[in-house]
Amino acid sequence: MIKKIMVHEKNWYGRLDKFLRKELDEIKLTAIYSLIRKGDVKVNERRVKKPDYPVQIGDTVEVYLPDKEAGKERITRDLSEKRKLIPRKLALPRVYEDEAMIVLDKPSGLSIHPGEGAKQKTTVIEGLLFESKERGYEPYLVHRLDKDTSGLLVIAKSIEVARILGETFRERNAQKRYAAGVSGAINRELHIDTPLDSKEALTHLKPLVVYGREGRFLTLLEIEILTGRKHQIRRHLSLHHLPVLGDALYADAELNHWVRARGLKRLFLQSSYLQFPHPLTGKTVHFTLPLSSDLQAFLDACEPIERPSR
């Protein structure tokens, strides 16, 4: 079966893969990439094999969708694998809101999208879908935060704003800084450029305070990322023997047991600063969050022993 899609102002979304992800919401993302790689996608009757191909308004996109009976890979999503998006009431702390966008203070432990299985908490996008029906806007994610990372998260209130902000973040015209508590002492700035998954990954570390507690050294870092790879901060820090406190994936069990026993029940990683041009006015806007109360309480129980020169 061939599905033909005309690109217009309301459905245009920059990159080919993201456009197809939105238009073919019944298809797995991995299958969309497979279709593109195999040449099963045409734009204006020409095969396109690059997921980041820039789709333009007025283009015609054709997708060959193989029948299940033809022995092809099953490409439709299994609803038991991912829960459907259902609007659900959820209190979402706001840092800022105007007619174009919302800046949330996402709590740690709150997922942005539904994941595996149906028995899970309401997600950010489901909470936004619930309130947006009453308030008359359409929410779009501009960037992402891991489930266990707290802090600043930008939501566009229209697809037009989402396109502008999406390009801003994609072209690295937004500054993103994080606060992280790590195991170990570091007293100098460090730039990490170790590739992740064979892709460029750039992370800059600036130590703020080195702490001591019960014979251990801990460091509060300000981190700026220039790329957006999966778990980039956590992976880079772990590779350099500076695991994030409370990291169940990349820190060792003994460290995690130690921090939990001393009151830290979550990942010590917070999106603390964002700066970018406003999508409507072009004026630079910036948002800052102090450390959340639980992270600050953990540090208050430690002894600051060094403040590296900045």
Residue in the block written with tokens 């790590």: 182
Edge-to-edge order in the sheet of strand 46-47 = 2-6, 60-64, 41-43, 46-47
CA–CA distances in Å: residue 49 to residues 21, 34, 310 = 15, 9, 46
The radius of gyration of the chain from alpha carbons, rounded to an integer in Å, stands at: 22
Q: Do the beta carbons of residue 273 and residue 288 sit within 8 Å?
A: yes
Number of H helices, E strands in the chain: 7, 15
CA nearest to 142, candidates 14, 284, 249, 303: 14
What residues are labeled active site? 146
CA nearest to 263, candidates 302, 220, 223, 218: 302
Angle at 212 between CA 260 and CA 232, to 5 degrees: 60
- Angstrom distance (rounded) from CA 112 to CA 212: 34
Q: How far apart are the first and last CA of the chain?
A: 61
DSSP 38-64: TT-EEETTEE---TT-B--TT-EEEEE
130: enclosing H helix or E strand: helix 124-135
Six-digit token pair at 223?
């981190």
